Structure 1
């Protein structure tokens, strides 16, 4: 305000400019008062011999007036205003004050009382005029009034004039304080005006942005709800000119072609209600016919009233939210539909099932849930790649959608699993019919690129409310039924039965117990002898895992091995059996071998070779004395790496045996790709041959001939009688295994079959 501090900023500059403009507005009054004072002094003192002093003082007055004018002009020609301009203006006030202080000193003594009164009257007028002209610039007011106050001491210098001096000084100081008060008030008011102006500019800028922005515009209506003052942006969004839209009912514009029929969307009814009740509304989204199509607009508005409370209409903002709406719909589509097949996803299926379950409770007949799993789909992915698998899934979805063309609601759960919700079904008959159609339709061949593919389907179903009164329970029941269908070989439909839940609970408890079996030393290994068919000499043993639970007792391998495979426990259990068997076999005589069964899962991990090497190294067993038995199931997926791992094991010197030959996916192709040392003939063929079944006899002869031609040995499994032994001997089997020679036995009993001097002491 004084100009001593150099502040920056547009607001500061504008306040300084306001101070200087206020002073400049009354500068002419100050100059006129100076001229009047000059003339008054000549009139009062000019005839008393003071002409020389008056001339000198008059020159000083004119010089100060001219200097002030020059300084003001110089300031005005500069670029912008600063605090320095206030200081320059203060110099003008100081010169003005010094001239009039000199006047009081020069003409204060040697004059009559009437002249003194006239002189004081003139000085008081000059100080009032100066205070008025410098009121907005306190620095100039100070520069003017302080010399005047000093001059008063010369003007009233007599002892008897002391009261007059005090009165005049108080008068001058009051004028100075008044200037400061006015200047402070002026600065505050002008600063507030500047801030208000800046806010107005911001509001104007925002309004212009609304007008010229990409998707927003302003609109307003009159009391009759007709558009007025239509903005170019709004008209552009409608694909019309402002003149075409001006005066049209807002609701008519928004309704478009529906105006004639009266079939308005619910959102338009909501907006019309707000307009009718004259109340605020915000973010109402509604479809509008514009630009040759349907766009989504979002409108907000408030009612307008004048100062007397008369309703003037509405004023608001509009936005085009078509892109946001479409984006939200795409997100909803992704959240509720499978991106690959376009079928409803798991969450969407669950919503439909929940609604069907609610309807069932209100008296509608029960609903059903079907789970579908593709058979042999993994082989397609493994052999032909996921791209072909995805195309196959797309065709499966197309067929399933065609089959479920009625009230059924089909979707994809994930992977190769699909599901169907039947909202209304009274009995299993309709479920059986639909399940049969699904299995038949999905089992037909598929043409994917240049591949002709065959996959089947298994279906598990559950019916509410008897199989589950809640959605989660019904889904779990259908899943159990699907598991049963898969365990029966696939390609069938199984409906849920109560015992399936009991079996599932038993499997779950068995799995939990099996996870603790290794840690709690509940597993043990038994050894079954393998003998020469001709001499009966023991040439090896097969290691067999057994489990004795402290509460459930002995548990059959037929029970716990499938559970171990499903729970991915077969790997650690198999490795433990391998290490244990190798450690026991290292104590037997050198020629005797140990055979260990290996699962397909173990052969799918490259780390299995390292586990075999580690077991051999820790036990000290020679690699040629270890025989690993594999089943034909490991060759179903040729790209699993099983063949490579088997080749690596043979490179270590480990013997390989093909177990259960002829009972599974028998193919002579893999016999030429992998070198086996032994082929084991399943007991079912041994029993059949002992009963003189021609097929079994032919199969054993063929296997023996094939093995001999390939340089492999044959082992007949399950020989329990002397008749069976004689038969397999006659057919040419070299080795025999079965109860006839010994049941699976503990390691101590197995070691007792050899002379004590041939056994090596345990390290």
Structure 2
């Protein structure tokens, strides 16, 4: 209904303008001020101009394209307009009406309309003045009428240029604004980062639409304290400290990685890069950029795992086990508790490889690794030193018997995991035990002691253990 009303109102407006002009012409004609042309000429010219002004007619004349055939459409309207004003008898004086057409075409086609209007207006006035010189009735005397025409032409062309330039500058400003908005949408709304703005009270006041695509949470749900509710509990203390650093040091950029719960319930690592711009007049907020780096963290974790663990068994490699032993000894020295090391060597493993093949040998190593890991405590570090040798760092042992108990459990577990089929080689295990009181040994020395104890055990037979500098016993 509203659209119908607008169409009717527009048609009424276009129809009212020629009626008003006709009424004015009728009054002027009564006083002898509207030329000698028959009145029907005015009616035809005004009706024709009104018809050409209809949007539907303009679209047809433009060939269906926005701003198409502009010179043709402008020339047609200027020709009708100029014919009318010269028929009235006042010649170029009334040519200022061309500026009305300029305004109309600028609204339709933009700043590029000024040139067709200026050129067509000057040409039409020149033709009109030729007609006046040839005898067309005019109220103004000659040659003054031609001087007036020249002045009106200069004024029309100059005004057309000034208006066209003003509109062009406005168009450029609007185009720049659109580009800026498109850039904003590309960078902020459609980019790979989630943008947040946090006020001085610590409440999030803006979250970019990217948040829903990345986290599954609608932006509105993350406003206020919404985002903080999705931080992993283990990362929340660090997030509090991170927030404090942002306020303490607004002059620098801060970065942190923490886990965020996505809408699917899974925890994803996010990298936060934040700058405190509360003091900035144009921002007045803490600006945060964060992105999902879960894939990157997973890749880093895989690389770190591969660098620190044995590829076959999943246990720590020798380098990482030595580092773990160094750290455990340092912690034991500061905590005042002893540290133990078990050094394991398999008995008869070469026969497994020779009889059943290396693939079977790898499976045996994997089975034994699981047994060793299962027999140790959660706080102990288990590693493969290479080949068929393993080591265990006992993180705090009350006495030698506790270490011996773990060694016995390993030996029993390995024996139970062996196949019982006749003719299938079985492996045994020899273990060396070394203990260090707090601050009395370093990693290399303690590992050498355990290795020496292992050889003591091996000389006494398979499936046994020995404590460094003590006589080996069989379980």
Tell me the TM-score normalised to structure 2 length.
0.60
Paired position in structure 1 for 2:156: 175
**Residue 336 of structure 1: CA displacement?**
3.2
* Residues in 2 aligned to 1:197 and 1:241: alpha-carbon distance in whole angstroms: 24
Paired position in structure 1 for 2:309: 337
* Residues in 1 aligned to 2:130 and 2:420: alpha-carbon distance in whole angstroms: 116
1:68 to 42, 47, 52: 52
* Residues in 1 aligned to 2:287 and 2:379: alpha-carbon distance in whole angstroms: 49
**Residue 103 of structure 1: CA displacement?**
3.9
Query: How has the CA–CA distance of structure 1 residues 246 and 336 changed in structure 2, closer, same or farther, with 3 Å as cutoff?
Result: closer
Paired position in structure 2 for 1:42: 29
Question: Is 1:267 aligned to 2:227, yes or no?
Answer: no
**Residue 270 of structure 1: CA displacement?**
2.3
Paired position in structure 2 for 1:694: none
Alignment deviations for residues 108-128 of structure 1 (CA, whole Å, 9 cap, x no partner): xxxxxxxxxxx2574254344
Paired position in structure 2 for 1:589: none
**Residue 490 of structure 1: CA displacement?**
10
1:123 to 88, 94, 113: 94
2:355 to 383, 391, 409: 383
Paired position in structure 1 for 2:177: 196
Alignment deviations for residues 657-688 of structure 1 (CA, whole Å, 9 cap, x no partner): xxxxxxxxxxxxxxxxxxxxxxxxxxxxxxxx
- Describe how 1:23-422 pairs up with structure 2 within 5 A: 35=22, 38-39=25-26, 42=29, 51=36, 53-55=37-39, 57-58=41-42, 61-62=45-46, 64-66=48-50, 68-69=52-53, 72-76=55-59, 81-96=65-80, 98-100=82-84, 103=87, 107=89, 119=90, 122-134=93-105, 136=111, 137-138=113-114, 139-152=116-129, 155=132, 165=146, 168-194=149-175, 196-197=177-178, 200=181, 203=184, 224-225=201-202, 253=229, 265-273=236-244, 284-286=256-258, 295=267, 298=270, 329=301, 332-338=304-310, 340-353=312-325, 355=327, 373-401=345-373, 405=377, 409-420=381-392
Query: How has the CA–CA distance of structure 1 residues 377 and 163 changed in structure 2, closer, same or farther, with 3 Å as cutoff?
Result: farther
For the 8 Å contact 1:303–1:314, the answer to whether it is kept is: yes
Alignment deviations for residues 123-148 of structure 1 (CA, whole Å, 9 cap, x no partner): 25434444444454222443233211
* Residues in 2 aligned to 1:275 and 1:416: alpha-carbon distance in whole angstroms: 52
SS class of match (1:412): strand
* Residues in 2 aligned to 1:206 and 1:489: alpha-carbon distance in whole angstroms: 73
* Residues in 2 aligned to 1:307 and 1:374: alpha-carbon distance in whole angstroms: 68
* Residues in 2 aligned to 1:307 and 1:365: alpha-carbon distance in whole angstroms: 55
Tell me the TM-score normalised to structure 1 length.
0.41
- Describe how 1:711-726 pairs up with structure 2 within 5 A: none
Query: How has the CA–CA distance of structure 1 residues 437 and 270 changed in structure 2, closer, same or farther, with 3 Å as cutoff?
Result: same
* Structure 1: tracts of 5 or more residues without a match: 1-23, 108-118, 497-763
For the 8 Å contact 2:196–2:288, the answer to whether it is kept is: yes
**Residue 69 of structure 1: CA displacement?**
2.9
For the 8 Å contact 2:309–2:315, the answer to whether it is kept is: yes
**Residue 411 of structure 1: CA displacement?**
0.2
Query: How has the CA–CA distance of structure 1 residues 169 and 39 changed in structure 2, closer, same or farther, with 3 Å as cutoff?
Result: farther
For the 8 Å contact 1:145–1:172, the answer to whether it is kept is: yes
For the 8 Å contact 1:29–1:133, the answer to whether it is kept is: no
**Residue 183 of structure 1: CA displacement?**
2.2
Query: How has the CA–CA distance of structure 1 residues 389 and 75 changed in structure 2, closer, same or farther, with 3 Å as cutoff?
Result: farther
Alignment deviations for residues 5-58 of structure 1 (CA, whole Å, 9 cap, x no partner): xxxxxxxxxxxxxxxxxxx9x9889858965785577357579xx63x445753
* Residues in 1 aligned to 2:279 and 2:414: alpha-carbon distance in whole angstroms: 77
* Residues in 2 aligned to 1:199 and 1:84: alpha-carbon distance in whole angstroms: 28
Alignment deviations for residues 304-363 of structure 1 (CA, whole Å, 9 cap, x no partner): 97998896x768677777787667656654543345434223442243255468789999
Alignment deviations for residues 737-761 of structure 1 (CA, whole Å, 9 cap, x no partner): xxxxxxxxxxxxxxxxxxxxxxxxx
Paired position in structure 2 for 1:115: none
Query: How has the CA–CA distance of structure 1 residues 193 and 339 changed in structure 2, closer, same or farther, with 3 Å as cutoff?
Result: same
* Structure 2: tracts of 5 or more residues without a match: 1-10, 136-140, 469-475
For the 8 Å contact 2:51–2:57, the answer to whether it is kept is: no
SS class of match (1:447): coil
* Residues in 2 aligned to 1:99 and 1:330: alpha-carbon distance in whole angstroms: 85
SS class of match (1:341): coil
Number of residue pairs the alignment of both structures matches: 436
**Residue 249 of structure 1: CA displacement?**
5.0
RMSD of equivalent CA atoms:
6.6
SS class of match (1:62): helix
Paired position in structure 1 for 2:472: none
Which has the higher Rg, Structure 1 or Structure 2? 1
SS class of match (1:169): helix
Alignment deviations for residues 516-556 of structure 1 (CA, whole Å, 9 cap, x no partner): xxxxxxxxxxxxxxxxxxxxxxxxxxxxxxxxxxxxxxxxx
For the 8 Å contact 2:14–2:50, the answer to whether it is kept is: no
* Residues in 2 aligned to 1:194 and 1:80: alpha-carbon distance in whole angstroms: 24
Alignment deviations for residues 440-474 of structure 1 (CA, whole Å, 9 cap, x no partner): 6698575248475423457899999xxxx998x87
* Residues in 2 aligned to 1:297 and 1:359: alpha-carbon distance in whole angstroms: 30
Alignment deviations for residues 574-616 of structure 1 (CA, whole Å, 9 cap, x no partner): xxxxxxxxxxxxxxxxxxxxxxxxxxxxxxxxxxxxxxxxxxx
